[in-house]
Amino acid sequence: MRFLFLFFTIFQLSIVAGFAKATADRSRVLLVRPIILCDDDGTNPARHALPKKLADQVYTRADLEFLYLDPIPWNHGKARRGEINLNTIVSSGIKNGMITTDPRVATLLFVSGVDGQTQPLGRGLQGGNICFVNLGTPDKMKNPAERAFVVAHELGHCLSLIHAVDDPKVPNDVPNLQGDGPYEERLAVEGLHPTQVETVIKSPLALLRLQFLNTKETAEAIANDQWDNPLEPLTADNFRFELGLEVDAPLPEDQAARVAIAREKYAALARDFSEDEIETLTTLVNKLDGLVRDRWPMIQRVPWQFAKMDSTFCRAMPHTRGLTIVLTESCFQRFSGDESLALEILLHEKLHVLQRLMPKRFATSFARYGYQSVKLPPDTAKRFNFVRNPDAPDARWSIRLETGLNLLATSLETEEGQLKFVEHSYLLQPAGENETDHSHTVGDPQEPGEEMIKWRQQFPIKVGHDDPREVMAYLLGKIFRADLLEEADEELTPSQVQLLKDERPHLRKILSSRADRARKIR
């Protein structure tokens, strides 16, 4: 594949002062995933900076806020030094998951060279979601305005902006984000022309803080999830479960034919939101945002996107697909009778969205719960007919017990002509040649033993123990009800009360907005 990047080389120095207005409540958000290229051994990270105030300032007219996700290091020396071309870097990044194909997230790669050039410059994929920035050596681009400009300019290309000299609608004789002039003027509010504002707000990267997908968009979101729910590896029973088919419903053996059936069915099951449902969700989201914004601000900062499916889809269970929260008609019946439950469900699902966007934030907590990531044989899910949980689709989390590493997983089994969820425990045995391999084989299924039961009882939750992402989401709901809704849970044991007490500061740290605070230049 080929990618066409527009570029701008930086030569001048200047200063920008002031900030147009606070951005926390802007109607649109640009999610930016920064990637810092390093040498193969993790040393010599490319010089980088994530300017927020100045970038937000120039996009004021578009009512757009920059929201930086946690920076990710990528150990790829040739890419950092510009010894391989951008198309090769992008292809490699997509293959290994560093660069998301989701058009709603922009990837910002910091490098030390581009196509053999080491001078400060930037290149952005026009109308795409990828851009490269080289800030040069420490003696270059010392001024914050320069760094802000190159980031805002290149991400502007991703937002479909073209250079002013090539845009007949934009005057080329006044300072502009995509043109010439002093940096402080190009980054001013006036640096974005009204016609450029129209272009920006049409970009799939300019996310509304609250969005309701229509039936076409919903079918696309379900069928083409760019994160972790591909259709190809699904077992026959998982197809039947998701699509609401009978346990003995015939399916073609050919996987491509199954995928085609699923796509057709998704389109048939997609639903539009009614005006009453939109009003209900808007009210709930506004209330939830108001409750959590000071304590867990990332819940509010990351946009809300909702899709609606028929209640036969996934047995009407609310869940997420990528950045989208999927609800069914049955959910609104539950919401109407219990506002606290509705708020807790929305909070639970939003946390799953954040777990996809910023996975490293959660690793320490998962280890504290007793989980350890392992590599399992690729046929494990098919062998045991594991149900795919869209919020936690991969069976890779073992549990450390005195008896060794155990896998807790839920299978789809047929009972009385119906597909049922049945949970089993599996003892894992090392299969790798060394301790750093983390590869394991899976033993036969067994009922959870006494030690596993005792481990589960430490958590004040009834389900979800097979994956730490679910455990954390349920714990967050418990704390939300206790602290923000002031609803006491009389069923908690003293040890469970203590666990929730210990968990509060960790969740507060994880859900803080530290990811998009201004950083010192490297």
Look at residue 437 and give its three-state secondary structure.
coil
pLDDT at position 113 over 90: yes
Q: Can you point out the beta strands (E) in 101-184?
A: 105-110, 121-125, 130-134
For the chain, the domains span 5-208, 212-360
Predicted confidence (pLDDT) at residue 8 exceeds the cutoff of 60: no
Q: Determine what percent of the chain is predicted with pLDDT higher than 70.
A: 92
404-422: average pLDDT: 91
Whose tokens are 């649109």? That residue is 28
Say yes or no to pLDDT of 280 above 50: yes
Contact 78, 115 (CB under 8 A): no
pLDDT band at residue 514 under the 50/70/90 scheme:
low
Q: Which residues face 8 on adjacent strands? A: 122
Residue 55 scores a pLDDT above 90: yes
Cα gap 265→280, rounded to integer Å: 27
Tell me the per-residue pLDDT of 363-403, one tens digit each, with 9 for 90 and over.
999 999 999 999 999 889 899 999 989 998 887 899 999 98
Cβ-contact 65, 21 below 8 angstroms: no
Identify which of 16, 360, 372, 416 has the alpha carbon closest to the alpha carbon of residue 186.
16
Please tell me which residue, 251 or 207, carries the higher pLDDT value: 207
pTM metric for this prediction? 0.92
**Residues in contact with 181: Cβ distance below 8 Å, sequence separation at least 6, in sequence order:** 174, 175
Q: Do residues 434 and 410 make contact, with C-beta atoms less than 8 angstroms apart?
A: no
Residue 273 amino acid letter = F
According to the model, what pLDDT value does residue 340 have?
Answer: 97
Beta partners for residue 428, in sequence order? 442
pLDDT digits (tens, 9 = 90+) for 178-223: 999 999 999 999 999 999 999 999 999 999 999 999 999 999 999 9
**Closest residue by Cα to residue 51 from 15, 12, 6, 89:** 15
Contact in structure between 498 and 24 (CB atoms under 8 Å): no
What pLDDT shows up at residue 436?
A: 60
- Quickly list DSSP for 9-60: E----------SS--TT-SEEEEEEEEEEE-TTS-SPPP-----HHHHHHTG
pLDDT for 69 equals 96
How much is the mean pLDDT over the chain? 90
Total residue length of the chain? 522
Instruction: Give SS3 for 308.
Output: strand
Q: What is the mean pLDDT of residues 264-278?
A: 96
Taking only the tens place, the pLDDT of each residue in 442-490 is 999 988 889 999 999 999 999 999 999 999 999 999 999 999 999 988 8
Contact between 242 and 231 (Cβ < 8 Å)? no
* The pLDDT of residue 41: 96
pLDDT value, residue 19: 39
Which value, in Å, is the radius of gyration of the alpha carbons in the chain? 24
How far is 44 from 219, CA to CA, in rounded Å?
44
DSSP secondary structure of 62-75: GTEEEEE---EEEE
Token pair for residue 251? 């399916």
Looking at the chain, the whole-number percentage of residues with pLDDT higher than 90 is 75
Q: What is the mean pLDDT of residues 217-242?
A: 88
5-208 placed in CATH 3.40.390 = yes
Q: Identify the pLDDT of residue 437.
A: 60
pLDDT at 4 over 70: no
At residue 167, the pLDDT reads 95
How far is residue 92's CA from residue 3's CA, in Å, rounded to a whole number? 13
Where do the DSSP E strands lie in 111-236? 121-125, 130-134, 207-208, 210-212
Q: How far apart are CA 500 and CA 479, in angstroms?
A: 7
Which of 55, 178, 177, 97 minimizes the C-alpha distance to 356?
A: 97
pLDDT of residue 230: 80
What is the Cα–Cα distance from 471 to 459, expressed in whole angstroms? 8
pLDDT tens digits for range 9-47 = 433 323 233 333 456 789 999 999 999 999 999 999 999
pLDDT digits (tens, 9 = 90+) for 93-103: 999 999 999 99
CA–CA dist 221, 213 (Å, integer): 9
pLDDT tens, residue by residue, 121-162: 899 999 999 999 999 988 888 888 989 999 999 999 999 999
